[in-house]
Amino acid sequence: MSSIQNIASGDLITNSRTDINNNFTNLNTDKIETSVLDTDTTLAANSDTKVATQKAVKSYIDAGGSTEVPANFVIVSAGAVDSGKGVKLNAIGKLDTSFLSTTFGGTGANGALSISSGTTTLDLGGASYYQRNYTSLSITGTGALTFSNPHANGTIIDIRVLGNTTLTSSVVPMINARGMGGLGGTGGGAGTGVSGSQGHGNVYTTNGGAGAPASGTPLGGLTVALLPQRFLSAGNKYPTVVPGAGGGDSHDGGNGAGSGGGVLILSTAGTFTFTTVGGISVSGIDGKVGGTIPRASGAGGGGVAVILYNIAGTISGTVTSIGGTGTSVAGTGGAGAGGSGVASNGGNGSNSGGGSSGAGGNGFSLMELNNQYV
């Protein structure tokens, strides 16, 4: 930077004028002290006597300022200990749900469920609605999850996962809600067989298959008047879901008909990974053969599976929600009808010499990224 010329006490006025003009010229040319400028784009000096250049500041900001998340910024909230800290978006550019008041993914109150071998059975206790809240869900290796003791009209099983869900077990199905819908008719005597139980959802009902009469054709259960596209309703907090109905029993002391498939709602607030084909089932149970004089009973209708997740991992697995298969006994009659699913009617039974029972109606499944619930 140019120097400033002092005016001495003995200088003539013409000399003083020249010195003053030269000083202003020098100040106009050198408007900033270049010796204090710092061009380091990392700002490593951390100095109170240096001034970062525009380029240095821009480069520092564009580089993120640091390779580490500053201590006063958090990606996931740990609660009160993070009071006053700033929020940083997660790896996919979204706000982590730990910063929100949310019910999607539940509370995690039941801890983590991890099954790598063997079968874990959850007792539904005869409830029409059953909920579990896990911090994480992992079914791997040869592990499996199944259910028992549903309500007579089926159970809606609501599993909420606050963290990640990993479903890679080789067991098919690894989550088995078959037969958790309306119960199949049982206890048919010498006259008409017992009809299957209805499947009761939170809005709609599926109808059980008719028990076989001593003569005439037992009719399959009728499905609900509802299109699958309407299963996620913007006006409902939870999907409109219906268990499959039970099949009708044969007469002459049948062996009991197939039950309908249950309802499974699986919501994952974290990453959802599912790689097993046929890994989840809400299908109806097949028709049976039994009784003093062997007769064929009807099959159960398929249930409903709704699987929602906030982050998609590897997803190549599939869900089955079909109705059970009818059966037959050659040379006998009095077969029961199939129960209905939500997507199709149950099949009629036969009271002719063939004795074929009705198949269950198909159910419905939906597996997609959550874009509605918080």
Distances (CA, A) of 245 to 183, 238, 240, 292: 7, 21, 16, 26
Q: What is the pLDDT of residue 287?
A: 86
- Tell me phi and psi for residue 114, to 5 degrees: -130, 125
pLDDT values of the chain reduced to their tens digit, one per residue, 374 residues: 556 556 666 655 565 667 666 666 666 666 667 777 888 888 788 888 888 888 878 887 777 655 555 667 777 777 777 777 777 777 777 777 666 666 788 889 999 999 999 999 999 999 999 999 999 999 999 999 999 999 999 999 999 999 999 999 999 999 999 999 999 888 766 667 788 888 888 777 888 888 777 666 777 777 664 444 334 443 445 557 889 999 888 776 566 789 999 999 999 999 999 999 999 999 999 988 776 677 788 889 999 999 999 999 999 999 999 999 888 776 454 566 677 777 778 877 766 555 678 888 899 899 999 877 77
Q: What is the pLDDT of residue 235?
A: 40
How far apart are the two ends of the chain, measured CA to CA in Å?
62
Indicate whether this model's pTM tops 0.95. Answer: no
- Which of 247, 249, 267 has its CA nearest to residue 259? 247
Q: Left if phi > 0, otherwise alpha if psi is -120 to 50, otherwise beta: which for 59? A: alpha
Distances (CA, A) of 139 to 1, 111, 262: 72, 15, 20
Long-range contacts, stretch 290-294, CB < 8 angstroms, 24+ apart = 290/253, 290/254, 290/255, 290/256, 291/188, 291/250, 291/252, 291/253, 291/254, 291/255, 292/252, 292/253, 293/252, 293/253, 293/332, 294/329, 294/332
**Cβ neighbour number for residue 290 with a 10 Å cutoff:** 18
Q: What is the pLDDT of residue 228?
A: 41
Residues 177 and 264: beta-carbon distance below 8 Å: yes
Question: How many Å apart are CA 193 and CA 212, to the nearest integer?
Answer: 5
Residues 257 and 184: beta-carbon distance below 8 Å: yes
Q: What is the pLDDT of residue 6?
A: 60
**Residues in Cβ contact with 214 at an 8 Å cutoff, skipping those fewer than 6 apart:** 190, 191, 192, 251, 334
Q: What is the pLDDT of residue 3?
A: 62
**Cβ neighbour number for residue 61 with a 10 Å cutoff:** 10
